[in-house]
Amino acid sequence: MLPTPTKVTVVAGDGEADHKLTAFDVALLAAGIGNLNLVKVSSIVPPGCEPVDKLDIPPGALTPTAYGAVMSDVKGERIAAAIAVGFSENDFGVIMEFSGRCTKEEAERAVRSMVEEAFRYRNMHLRDMRVASAERVVGDRPAAVVAAAVLWY
């Protein structure tokens, strides 16, 4: 059984490179999580999980992460990703991610709305929300954006 994470942070980054995948890698580096092995998780923050501004995670660590990302090589295209983590009073929290061909503000509105909706469906009170987002207009090289909720111990 895996341990239950006790900390969560939200991060976002953008980047460009010669290939879409390396642009995604540059975006991960910009977000501060490029040297981790991300293990994609869904949408629940464990009870008592504390929001923090930064996590100290060793390189290569298997890291539970919910994220949204988009890559593009269409010059002039605007891409964005956003993540939101909603916290309840005494219970678990909810993570929502979004990525697409839109502005950062549109991506943020989407994740905020989804967290609020998720709390309504669960009949829970939303105490606090943390949001991170990134946006980029594709230039001459492929670009990527990523927004992530990183869980740790």
pLDDT tens per residue across span 42-93: 999 999 999 999 999 999 999 999 999 999 999 999 999 999 999 998 899 9
Instruction: CATH number of the domain at 127, please.
Output: 3.50.20.10
Mean pLDDT along residues 89-116: 97
Residue 42 annotated among the catalytic residues of the structure: yes
Residue 43 annotated among the catalytic residues of the structure: yes
Residue 1 lies in a domain: no
Residue 83 lies in a domain: yes
| Active-site annotation holder among 16, 72, 97, 99 | 97
Q: Is residue 153 over pLDDT 80?
A: yes
Residue 2 lies in a domain: no
Residue 37 annotated among the catalytic residues of the structure: yes
| Active-site annotation holder among 37, 77, 105, 113 | 37
Q: Rounded CA gap, 116 and 27, in Å? A: 27
The predicted pLDDT at position 147 comes to 98
Residue 12 lies in a domain: yes
Q: Is residue 134 over pLDDT 90?
A: yes
Q: Is residue 1 over pLDDT 80?
A: no
Confidence of residue 23 (pLDDT cuts 50, 70, 90): very high
Domain count within the chain: 1
Residue 126 lies in a domain: yes
Residue 98 lies in a domain: yes
| Active-site annotation holder among 35, 43, 88, 116 | 43
Domain membership of residue 57 as a residue range: 7-152
